[in-house]
Amino acid sequence: KCRTGPLDIVFVIDSSRSVRPFEFETMRRFMMDIIGSLDVGPNATRVGVIQYSSQVQNIFSLKTFFTRTDMEKAINNIVPLAQGTMTGLAIQYAMNVAFTTQEGARPLHKKIPRIAIIVTDGRPQDRVTEVATQARNAGIEIYAVGIQRADMNSLRAMASPPLEEHVFLVESFELIQQFGKQFQDKLCGVDVCVEQEHGCQHNCISTPGSFYCECNPGYRLNVDGKTCSPIDACADGRHGCQHQCVSARGSYSCRCHVGYYLNQDKRTCSLIDYCSFGNHSCQHECVSIPNGHYCRCRSGFTLQPDSRTCRATDLCNGVDHGCEFKCVSMEGSYHCVCPEGQQLQADGKACSKCGAGHVDLVMVIDGSKSVRPQNFELVKQFVNRIVDLLDVSPHGTRVGLVQYSSRVRTEFPLNKYHSADEIKKAVMEVEYMEKGTMTGLALKHMVEHSFSELEGARPLSHNVPRIGLVFTDGRSQDDISEWARRAKESGIIMFAVGVGKAVEEELRAIASEPVEQHFSYSADFTTMTHLVENFKLNICPEEGKGEMEIRSPCECEALVQFQTNTVAILQSLTEKNILWAHSLAQMMARLEDLEKQIANKK
């Protein structure tokens, strides 16, 4: 076998009409004998075959086969072209096509010899001198093998120097097989890596009459062409490690900062949840931080000096008050209140609903990465607080929900659910999207899809108000102006709610006129519940429209209902006054007892 290193060899075989069938068979045998002596493979010697006459035909390229069996099968299937002898055209094809990297030739910088073996039996019918020179200048080493009637001058014009080593004339086709054995020795030459001092630090690769050095995986060859240096796989910045990249012999691994662990993707990191260990002893909430945790109290409570327990500072936050809208703490007590324009019901907790009319309400909530999972849960609670204000039914108020980040997703359309409980349950099951903030894309989706009759919006002829409520916590990554304008021009009443880093200019661009009544802002997610009060009177229509019947407040049933509610409220206030009076009497009695005790001591 030829063991002097990899080669890229292309056989250029003359199949003109002057080559008789039995003579072409000896040429097949010649090629297969040469291939049989080579160490073929994708990383060893690669072989291609082309035949020519008046045209050129590619039998197989350097990238087609990597086993001798496949190559021999393809050679045996060659059908001679049996036309003219355009040798120059064949050399041109070999240079421009067969020896390109697209066809399987190794790049020139790898210094793998490119060898063309031209076998012909006659005089070329085209010019070969100029194109052969171009091929040799392109780095192709040409062996010219003439058989029987071949023209020696043409052979010498094609071959590489020195001519005595690259030009061969075989007297007959019968002798070509014997010549093949001599040609094998000429092709393989001396294994320079074995016979000479090569100086390669890692590996020496032999080529005919020469050699080159190659490094082990994970190393690159230095400019001296012999020594090797480790490849810093982290240096190109494409490793994708969230925290740290650690290079190791051409590869790399990702490492996390202290207090974080590496996720299954082997690139991103997550904070170690020290609270999950179960030994934090926090009375209310445990918050994990790098290298540990700390305790936090719920709103209305104060962390005690032991840094674990909490004490209530606001009775409304310390008890299950049940107030529908807002709980107001007093010293030692509390009471429920409703927004302006609404009445507290007889139970002292519930408020009157938006029952006088109905709307089609679509809420568009920001699910970008900046919101964070815990705050997204607060956003869902905020949505459900608004749902609690509405009289949801197929013929009353309809509610739809859209979430957006880098894309937009309809969580449920206007015609999906027909009760507040169904909507609230669906809201709590919404999954956080994360990624970017494409508010403009969300507005486009709302205008084109969410308020379509296909998704449950009632026809404009029914005069049902269409309300869009956009909730966001940051600057949009796309333009919002066009679709904010289109939304309002299409008759949608737009409300904008901003939290945290929301941009006031964008909120105002979204909001309908008068802007001050249609946009709100809260600095923090935990304090945004007060925004519900701001929106209730604006979202609830002043009067019913469309399919809903408008009832006069002076009708008998309305007056009876008003009287019943008033009596219940007065009764509730009376009961509270009796309790306060009784408490006051007890306090006065205790004061009298204390005065008597002080007098007796004197």
Of 144, 165, 169, 140, residue with least CA distance to 156: 144
Is the residue at 347 inside a domain?
A: no
Predicted pLDDT of residue 303:
87
Of 420, 349, 436, 350, residue with least CA distance to 388: 420
Confidence of residue 543 (pLDDT cuts 50, 70, 90): very low
Is the residue at 156 inside a domain?
A: yes
| pTM score | 0.37
Confidence of residue 366 (pLDDT cuts 50, 70, 90): very high
21: preceding bond cis by omega (within 30 degrees)? no
Residue type, 134: Q
Mean pLDDT along residues 378-397: 87
Predicted pLDDT of residue 47:
95
Q: What is the CATH number of the domain that holds 209?
A: 2.10.25.10
Mean pLDDT along residues 380-407: 90
Confidence of residue 197 (pLDDT cuts 50, 70, 90): confident
Q: Which of 33-47, 57-71, 528-542 has the lowest mean pLDDT?
A: 528-542
* Residue 437 in this model has a pLDDT that exceeds 60: yes
The contacts of residue 394 (CB under 8 Å, 6+ apart) are 418
Of 427, 401, 396, 428, residue with least CA distance to 414: 401
Predicted pLDDT of residue 542:
46
The whole domain housing 215 covers: 193-230
Predicted pLDDT of residue 405:
93
Q: What is the pLDDT of residues 316-332, one digit of tens each?
A: 776 778 888 788 876 55
Predicted pLDDT of residue 547:
40
| Domain identity same for 290 and 147 | no
Cβ–Cβ under 8 Å, residues 65 and 71: yes
* Residue 539 in this model has a pLDDT that exceeds 70: no
Separation CA 404–CA 441 (nearest Å) = 8
Mean pLDDT along residues 152-178: 82
Q: How many separate domains does the chain show?
A: 4
Is the residue at 592 inside a domain?
A: no
| Domain identity same for 104 and 78 | yes
Predicted pLDDT of residue 93:
97
Percent of the chain at pLDDT > 90 equals: 42
8-state DSSP, 95: I
CA 393 to chain centre: 39
Is the residue at 518 inside a domain?
A: yes
Mean pLDDT along residues 426-451: 93
Mean pLDDT of the chain, nearest integer: 83
Question: In 37-175, where does DSSP find H-type helix?
Answer: 68-76, 87-93, 129-137, 152-158, 163-166
Confidence of residue 575 (pLDDT cuts 50, 70, 90): low
Predicted pLDDT of residue 39:
85
Is the residue at 449 inside a domain?
A: yes
Structure tokens, 189: 């030459």
Cβ–Cβ under 8 Å, residues 102 and 47: no
CB neighbourhood size of 572 (10 A): 16
Q: What is the pLDDT of residues 465-481, one digit of tens each?
A: 999 999 998 899 999 99
Predicted pLDDT of residue 299:
76
- Which of 516, 539, 562 marks a domain boundary? 539
* Residue 132 in this model has a pLDDT that exceeds 90: yes
* Residue 36 in this model has a pLDDT that exceeds 80: yes
Separation CA 533–CA 323 (nearest Å) = 13
* Residue 7 in this model has a pLDDT that exceeds 80: yes
| Domain identity same for 295 and 372 | no
| Domain identity same for 444 and 478 | yes
Predicted pLDDT of residue 549:
38
Is the residue at 160 inside a domain?
A: yes
Q: What is the pLDDT of residues 79-128, one digit of tens each?
A: 999 999 999 999 999 999 999 999 999 999 888 889 999 999 888 999 99
β pairing state of 292-296 and 333-337: unpaired
Cβ–Cβ under 8 Å, residues 306 and 502: no
CA 3 to chain centre: 48
Confidence of residue 582 (pLDDT cuts 50, 70, 90): low
| Domain identity same for 110 and 207 | no
| Domain identity same for 395 and 304 | no
| Domain identity same for 301 and 442 | no
Confidence of residue 354 (pLDDT cuts 50, 70, 90): low
| Domain identity same for 150 and 206 | no
| Domain identity same for 411 and 388 | yes
Cβ–Cβ under 8 Å, residues 246 and 252: yes
Q: Which of 330-339, 340-349, 521-530 has the lowest mean pLDDT?
A: 340-349
Is the residue at 342 inside a domain?
A: no
| Domain identity same for 425 and 469 | yes
Confidence of residue 298 (pLDDT cuts 50, 70, 90): confident
The contacts of residue 182 (CB under 8 Å, 6+ apart) are none
Q: What is the CATH number of the domain that holds 81?
A: 3.40.50.410
| Domain identity same for 114 and 162 | yes
The full 3-state SS of 408-428, as one line of letters, equals EEEEECCCCCCCHHHHHHHHH
518 Rama sector, left if φ>0, alpha if ψ -120 to 50, beta otherwise: alpha
| Domain identity same for 27 and 133 | yes
Is the residue at 329 inside a domain?
A: no
Q: What is the pLDDT of residues 246-284, one digit of tens each?
A: 887 768 889 999 888 899 999 999 888 888 887 888 999
